[in-house]
Amino acid sequence: MTPPDAGDNPPTPADELRRRLTDFTRAEHILVALDFDGVLAPLIEDPTQSRPIPEAARALKRLASAPGVQLALVSGRPAQDLGVLAGPPPGTWLVGSHGAQTAEVTEAGTVELLPFELTPEQRDLLDRVSAALEKIAAEPEFDGAWVEHKPAAAALHTRPVADAQAAERALAFALAGPGSWPGTYAQPGNQVVEIPVVQATKGAAVATLRHRMRTELTGRPVAVFFAGDDVTDETVLSTLAEGDLGVKVGTAPSAAHVRVADEDAIAALLHDLADLRA
């Protein structure tokens, strides 16, 4: 499929965006769940250098202390790395590895991971997946491709590959090879294929966070605000309920209720959300 241009999926008009946000914030209790890369932080070739843009970082602090708000970051990154790079406020819930890991930012600013361990069979499978992806990345025609190793997955990144067609072939090899093995759950994304050895999605993770918040509130309703930019974020955006608000960042096709152009626009929207909650 040919990616749409900005004219195919333009940002939601400002008046409609404001109306939907105002309606949403009438909920007594809300979970604000956000993807990281491409939402709070720009997409760059070296993901170890990613940081939220300043206005997004300021918005996170405001939302973390807003009444009736629980803040969460939901990413494909390992939860520990997410905590370091995003610098979220204390009390923020973290979901890493597309839902395979959960953690919380303590008052001291450290990341407290909930117990997580692969079975011996899963560990062996992950080692084989990692080796297969490393072999693909080492091919001369895919120069620049690299493999990210996570607690429950390995991911082949092709953003640095100069030849776009070669990059697509590398991703296709990953999907047809280790991504098709029994026990793996391949997740294609934006110039990446991630291959977990546990079945987890961002959608299921956000549903779990909502349930956790409702439990802590002894069953009171919780509305969800979620913003994402990638294919994997559609597992959340396509399953939000009435009263929730899903936001797509960028021009890609989406099930989101509204759409904004970029990281600056989502930062502004988060500040508007904080203003309304105040």
- Domain locations along the chain: 14-115+200-277, 120-196
Kindly state the DSSP code that residue 3 receives in the 8-state scheme: P
162, burial (CB in 10 Å: exposed 0-12, middle 13-18, buried 19+): exposed
Question: What's the pLDDT tens digit per position in 70-118?
Answer: 999 999 898 999 999 999 999 999 999 888 889 999 999 899 988 777 8
Q: Which helix (H) or strand (E) holds 169?
A: helix 164-176
Which residues are bridge partners to 111 per DSSP? Answer: 105
Q: Extract the tokens encoding 272.
A: 């508007």
Confidence at 220, pLDDT banded by 50, 70, 90: very high
Which residues are bridge partners to 31 per DSSP? Answer: 70, 224
Among the four given CATH numbers 3.30.590.20, 3.40.190.10, 3.90.79.10, 3.30.70.1020, the one describing domain 120-196: 3.30.70.1020
Its pTM stands at 0.82
Kindly state the DSSP code that residue 45 receives in the 8-state scheme: S
Q: How far is CA 1 from CA 4, 58, 253, 263, in A?
A: 9, 37, 11, 25
Residue found by looking up tokens 């690299």 in the block: 146
Q: Extract the tokens encoding 273.
A: 């959300």
The CATH code of the domain at 14-115+200-277 is: 3.40.50.1000
Q: What is the Cα–Cα distance from 125 to 204, expressed in whole angstroms?
A: 23
Q: What is the Cα–Cα distance from 53 to 39, expressed in whole angstroms?
A: 9
Q: Extract the tokens encoding 240.
A: 């939000």
Residue 129 has pLDDT above 50, yes or no: yes
Question: What's the pLDDT tens digit per position in 137-173?
Answer: 999 999 999 999 988 899 999 999 999 999 999 999 9
Asked whether the beta carbons of 41 and 85 are under 8 A apart, the reply is yes
